Amino acid sequence: MRCFFDPKGVALVGASGNTMKGGYRILKNLMTGFRGGIYPVNPAYQEIEGLTCYPSVLKVPDPVDLAIVFVPGPLVPRVIRECVERRIPGAMIESAGFAETGEEGKALQEELKQICRETGIRLWGPNCMGLVDAVRKHVFSFVMEKIWAQGIIAGNVSLVVQSGFLSAGFLIDIMSHGSMGISKACSIGNKVDVDECDLLEYLIRDPDTGAIGLYLESIPNGRRFMDLCRSSRKPIVVLKGGKSAIGAQAAMSHTASLAGNGALVRDALAQAGVVEAGDFNQMMDMCKALARFPEVSKKGRGRVAVLTPSGGAGIVSADFVDQVGLELADLSQTTRDILTRIYPQWMPVSNPIDVWPAVELNGSEAYLTAFKAICADPNVDAILAHFFAVGFLGEDISPLAEVARAAGKPVFWWLMGWREMVSTIQKTAQEQGIPVFRELYRATECMAAVLKRKRGVGPGAPNVSVSGAIELPKELDRVLRGERGSLDEHLSKRILAACGIAVVEEKVVSSGDEAAKVASNLGFPVVMKGLCPGEIHKTDVGLVRLGIGSAEDAVQEFQVLKGRMEGRGAVLVQRQIQEGLELIVGLVRDPQFGPAVMFGFGGVMAEVLKDSAFGVAPLSTSDALGLMDRLRAKELLDGFRGAKAVDREALSRILVRVGELGCAYPRVREIDINPLIVEGGRPVAVDASVILEG
């Protein structure tokens, strides 16, 4: 990947002398910032802007290790073949006219993919804006030259944007508004070869990058993406397009990408420690905050001190702190004493800290005193500070920011007031990397992104792509490798039991007498079920009989079930489990993320409220516990209305094992344990089906 980010020499194929053309703009951008060799290629010119122009990449002198290609689509494959011949290791194709433009374009893109596979040349694009590296001043892109006058403030946030035109508008907006410093901005277009994973891997190691933001419409290699995210200590923020049913439909027609199951993608990203953004500018604000405060220690949910010159804004801040799941700090006695000294006598000390009456009494020094006190307060993890630039506090927050920096306390500034003062403060803040926000809620949610981020495991994190160990008896192993379609309830549960999952006691019986005997051993009442090949909705067709209370009834039910199945199936006698909390555990195989475990509540309410969570398999125990915590009604697991609390450890083992089963047997398409009933705290699989391919 180095050839894209740190080339020694660049050939620009499709360079132009026409100042209106992209091929001219790329050249000018190269000449302005890039310090290596620049070789325009275009048979129509001898020279452009004082540089020798070559008729073909084959004629370009050394050193050259990157070709930027900007010729009409149909000419691209020939150019790439010449790059291979010239032994150029990488090409960035900025031309459009490929898979995004119908059948011909698709064929063209397929040809590029083929060249890539055959020759090993790395291809970036096509249909992209290329790369802008604000630190090294590499603008490998046809973006207009005024970017140099208006934009390019270097910083340590790197970006990957899938959509072509979006990256243009978005990058220009961020850069020309100077609202944040960028390290590398990568527009990846159709991803014929280089994809978000390649770039992520590079950026995680890149010393110029402190946080990474990605806009993605698809994550085709979801498992590799997760492994990379888990191995990163740098904060990663993802805005995923195509989450809703209608968004996914738009995604289909736009880049023909699989948007996947929105809930599953969301949960998978959370599992990998990724921060999910909702909107473009919000993503940038979160990146900015996370790049500034990548590692923050906190207690509990994160204890926040709010400093404000307005009681009203303090009230709204308290609402927001609650809304984002943080808590207000209980100020230390030292802080309380300091505030008492500067407060008017009538005023009680509390948090949010309304500092205005103290400022009226003691001048603007009071704001600084209060700020210093909360910076030094061991009960405070982070500060939400309101700065009203209306005169009384001056125009410089950098001394305050310095106090906070020295104390190691992250501060999130909400800034409002006179236009000129606001601009001045924003500029200083930008230069010094102080996170200021123009909207209070945005400041609060960025604070939450910082305080609630799970610290990355860092290099050496276990890969999700490694299977867990499952050892099944030969007979069951053969079933999972050889059978097709839906396995019956009993066989499904035998497989689960072999994985160590508690299943309800049951036995297949072959006569009424045997049914009665088994039922007597299990203890009445029992459940009897007809296992009919291919029939998965047993209840609907009358093949489930509950509450059978005597041996006589068992004999009779055996006949009834046999009759209903017209002699085809077997009869199962099962202990009737006492009523308890109903759970569902499942396994699905996602086209982007592979096998994933689903956990949720069963029963009517749950079906309506769709309260469930996904985890990409294999799960760690902490992943499994995390699934439980993601349910809205998780309180029910703790033993509601006198019920015994669920044994979370036992439950997490079930979730882990189901995932491992999915990893070990790729032919398992789906598993459904429904219901998994909690009996005296212990989760027991009461009904289940394992569905195989074909």
Contact 597, 682 (CB under 8 A): no
CB-nearer residue toward a copy of itself: 51 or 250: 250
Binding region for a copy of itself (CB under 8 A) out of 290-298, 318-326, 501-509, 562-570 = 318-326
Which of 83, 161, 429, 686 lies at the binding interface for a copy of itself (CB under 8 A)?
Answer: 161
Q: What string of DSSP letters covers 492-503?
A: HHHHHHHTT--B
323 is an interface residue for a copy of itself by CB under 8 A: yes
Does 354 bind a copy of itself (CB under 8 A)? Our answer is: yes
Under rule CB under 8 A, residue 439 binds a copy of itself: yes
Q: How far apart are CA 543 and CA 557, in angstroms?
A: 10
Place of tokens 């209070």: 440
- When asked if residue 441 is in the footprint of a copy of itself (CB under 8 A), the reply is yes
Please, what is the minimum distance in Å from the beta carbon of residue 172 to a copy of itself? 5
Give the CA angle between residues 370, 374, 376 to the nearest 5°. Answer: 120
Residues touching a copy of itself, count (CB under 8 A):
99
The helix or strand, by DSSP H or E, that contains position 46, with its residue range, turns out to be none
Distance CA 450, CA 240 (A): 19
CB-wise, 466 or 605, nearer to a copy of itself?
A: 605
Minimum distance of a copy of itself from residue 582's CB (angstroms): 11
Residue 636 binds to a copy of itself (criterion: CB under 8 A): yes
Within 129-158, the residues that bind a copy of itself by CB under 8 A are 144, 146, 150
Give the C-alpha separation, 297 to 406, whole Å.
15
Decide if residue 635 touches a copy of itself (CB under 8 A): yes
Under the binding rule (CB under 8 A), the answer on residue 20 touching a copy of itself is no
Give the DSSP H/E element, type plus range, for residue 682: strand 682-685
Question: Does the footprint of a copy of itself cover residue 249 (CB under 8 A)?
Answer: yes
Give the DSSP H or E segment for 47: strand 47-48
Q: Which is nearer to a copy of itself, 250 or 407 (CB)?
A: 250
- Pick from 52, 56, 119, 282: which binds a copy of itself (CB under 8 A)? 282
Stretch binding a copy of itself (CB under 8 A), from 32-40, 52-60, 168-176, 649-657: 168-176
Q: Is 352 in the site for a copy of itself (CB under 8 A)?
A: yes
Closest CA to 196 of 241, 154, 153: 241
Q: Can residue 579 be called a binding residue for a copy of itself (CB under 8 A)? A: no
- Of 381, 380, 400, whose CA–CA distance to 389 is shortest? 400
Q: Per CB under 8 A, which region of 118-126, 275-283, 290-298, 473-481 contacts a copy of itself?
A: 275-283
Is residue 642 left, alpha or beta, with left meaning phi > 0 and alpha meaning psi from -120 to 50?
A: left
Q: What is the DSSP letter of 238?
A: E
Q: How far is the CB of 315 from a copy of itself (least distance, A)?
A: 4
Single out the segment in contact with a copy of itself by CB under 8 A; choices: 29-37, 39-47, 84-92, 159-167. Answer: 159-167
Looking at the DSSP bridge assignments, the partners of residue 508 are 572
Q: Which of 55, 61, 72, 311: binder of a copy of itself (CB under 8 A)?
A: 311
Q: Which of residues 228-247 bind a copy of itself (CB under 8 A)?
A: 239, 241-247
Cα 642 to Cα 651: distance, rounded to the nearest angstrom:
19
In the set 322, 552, 579, 649, which binds a copy of itself (CB under 8 A)? 322
In this chain, which of 42, 158, 162, 221 binds a copy of itself, going by CB under 8 A?
162
- Please provide the DSSP assignment of 245-286 as one string: HHHHHHHHHHH------HHHHHHHHHHTTPEEPSSHHHHHHH
Q: Report if residue 608 touches a copy of itself, rule: CB under 8 A.
A: yes
Beta bridge partners of residue 161, listed in sequence order: 187, 215
Does 402 sit near a copy of itself (CB under 8 A)?
A: no
> Least distance from C-beta 308 to a copy of itself, angstroms?
9
By DSSP bridging, strand 612-616 and strand 594-601 are antiparallel
In the complex, least distance from residue 389 CB atom to a copy of itself, rounded to whole angstroms: 8
Any contact of residue 307 with a copy of itself (CB under 8 A)? no
Asked if 350 touches a copy of itself (CB under 8 A), the answer is yes
Q: Please answer whether residues 247 and 253 qualify as being in contact, where contact means their C-beta atoms are separated by less than 8 angstroms.
A: no
CA R_g for the chain: 31
Stretch that binds a copy of itself, among 24-32, 41-49, 331-339, 439-447 (CB under 8 A): 439-447
Residues 410-429 that bind a copy of itself (CB under 8 A): 416-420, 422
Q: At what angle do helices 365-376 and 398-407 cross, to 10 degrees?
A: 20
Q: Which backbone phi and psi does 538 adopt, to 5 degrees? A: -60, -40
Query: From the list 64, 132, 212, 328, which residue makes contact with a copy of itself (rule: CB under 8 A)?
Result: 328
Binding mask 182-221 for a copy of itself (x = CB under 8 A): ---------------------------------x-x----
Asked if 318 is part of the footprint of a copy of itself (rule: CB under 8 A), the reply reads yes
CB neighbours (10 Å) of residue 477?
A: 16
CB 23 within 8 A of CB 48: no
Instruction: Pick between residue 155 and residue 659 the one whose CB is nearest to a copy of itself.
Output: 155
Question: Rounded distance, CA 56 to CA 71, Å?
Answer: 12
Q: Which is nearer to a copy of itself, 172 or 397 (CB)?
A: 172
Q: Does 312 bind a copy of itself (CB under 8 A)?
A: yes
CB of 667 to a copy of itself, least distance (A): 33
Phi (first) and psi of residue 688, to 5 degrees: -160, 155
* Interface with a copy of itself (CB under 8 A), residue from 533, 563, 603, 680: 603
Query: Binding residue for a copy of itself (CB under 8 A) from 101, 369, 428, 550?
Result: 101
User: Of residues 357, 394, 525, 681, which one binds a copy of itself by CB under 8 A?
Assistant: 357
Does residue 569 belong to the site contacting a copy of itself (CB under 8 A)?
no
Residue from 120, 344, 542, 547 in contact with a copy of itself (CB under 8 A): 344
Beta strands in 516-569 (DSSP E): 526-531, 544-548
Q: Which helix (H) or strand (E) holds 381?
A: none
Q: Which of residues 359-388 bind a copy of itself (CB under 8 A)?
A: 360, 388
* 694 three-state secondary structure: coil
Which residues lie across from 437 on neighbouring strands? Answer: 414
Q: How far is CA 527 from CA 547, 553, 586, 682, 686, in A?
A: 6, 11, 23, 20, 10
d(C-alpha 177, C-alpha 186), whole Å: 19
549 belongs to the binding site for a copy of itself (CB under 8 A):
no
What number of other Cβ atoms are within 10 A of residue 566's Cβ? 8
- Our CB check for a copy of itself shows the closer of 90 and 683 to be 683
Which residue's CB is nearer to a copy of itself, number 439 or number 513? Answer: 439
- List 59, 136, 137, 254, residue binding a copy of itself (CB under 8 A): 254
**Of 11-19, 305-313, 450-458, 549-557: span binding a copy of itself (CB under 8 A):** 305-313
Interstrand relation of 688-692 and 682-685 (parallel, antiparallel or unpaired): unpaired
Please tell me whether residue 390 binds a copy of itself under the rule CB under 8 A.
yes
> Considering the rule CB under 8 A, would residue 103 count as an interface residue with a copy of itself?
yes
Q: Indicate whether 473 belongs to the interface with a copy of itself (CB under 8 A).
A: no
Q: Give, in order, the Cα–Cα distances in Å from 393 to each of 30, 352, 367, 430, 559.
A: 45, 18, 8, 19, 88
Q: Are the C-beta atoms of residues 142 and 70 closer than 8 Å to each other?
A: yes
- Asked if residues 101 and 67 have their Cβ atoms less than 8 Å apart, the reply is no
Q: Is 290 in the site for a copy of itself (CB under 8 A)?
A: no
